[in-house]
Amino acid sequence: MVGVSGASGTPYAAAVLRGLLAAGLPVDLVLSRAARLTLLDETGIAWHDVAWQQPLERWLSAPLGEPVPDAAATSPPARPAQPVVPAPPVLPASPAEPAEPAEPAEPAEPAEPAEPATLAAAVETLVTVHASGNLAAPTSSGSYRTHGMIVVPASTACLAGIALGLSKDLLQRSADVTLKEGRRLVVVPREMPYTGATLRHMLTLHDAGAVVAPASPGFYAGARTAADLVDFVAGRVLDAAGVDHALFRRWTGELGHARRPDQAARRTG
């Protein structure tokens, strides 16, 4: 499960979601009320818990730092009407020899079912969205089986709510269920600096078994763009959640390896 709170950092959430979908994993997704405002501010996308598929596809497919087109702008333009040209007269066909009967075609082997090949197909088949106010959603119960939960980004208010067990909305309740069931909970704070209260809340979560993974990108992987840094953070979050990915180049022990020309070409190619 993925929970998105109202902290700045929606690109981190998008990168984590893309990584989970690329791994073919089903995702239960919940956005807090504050997260909708942050998503609107950072991307221009208005989120709807009912008609969520198109906003989610636009969010996950938007390049970092570029404006997200309106939904209407993504629809193909109507083709202009073509002038009507009269058809040439049809001439009588000359007699032809009868064609030989075609040999019967061999029966085709049944095709294997295809995995989702596009983002739209992955969103449709793997993602389930729950309203943040729906405390009757499946993820609010420990009997609903999940592999764990990622809260990205995690605001300080969200951290406090989970640490104190407030369960004021579905995101916090689902995180509380994840902890009480002994499943893996990864929280990704995106804030600086931290107050003493927030640090104590993070320590409480750590002691309860959660992984506290602040959104702190590393530079040894040879990042060249902001998107590379976002993918690094998302990759480390997926590492903490036990999900395979290929979002960044891992450390090999060789100094300067990421600056080699062949490695730079691999990143840009």
Dump pLDDT digits (tens) for 124-164. 999 999 999 999 999 999 999 999 999 999 999 999 999 99
Contact between 176 and 209 under an 8 Å Cβ cutoff? The reply is: no
Q: Using alpha carbons only, what angle is made at residue 119 by residues 42 and 213, rounded to the nearest 5 degrees?
A: 55
Domains by residue range for the chain, with CATH: 2-66+119-268 (3.40.50.1950)
Q: What 8-state DSSP symbol labels residue 45?
A: P
User: What is the value of pTM for the model shown?
Assistant: 0.80
34 φ/ψ angles, rounded to the nearest 5 degrees? -70, -30
Tokens read off for 152: 């990205």
Instruction: Count the neighbouring beta carbons within 10 Å of the beta carbon of residue 107.
Output: 6
Residues 39 and 57: their CA atoms lie apart, in Å, by: 13
Residue 107: its pLDDT value, please? 45
Task: Give per-residue pLDDT as tens, 58-106.
Answer: 999 988 877 666 655 444 444 444 444 455 555 555 555 555 555 554 5
Residue 156: its pLDDT value, please? 97
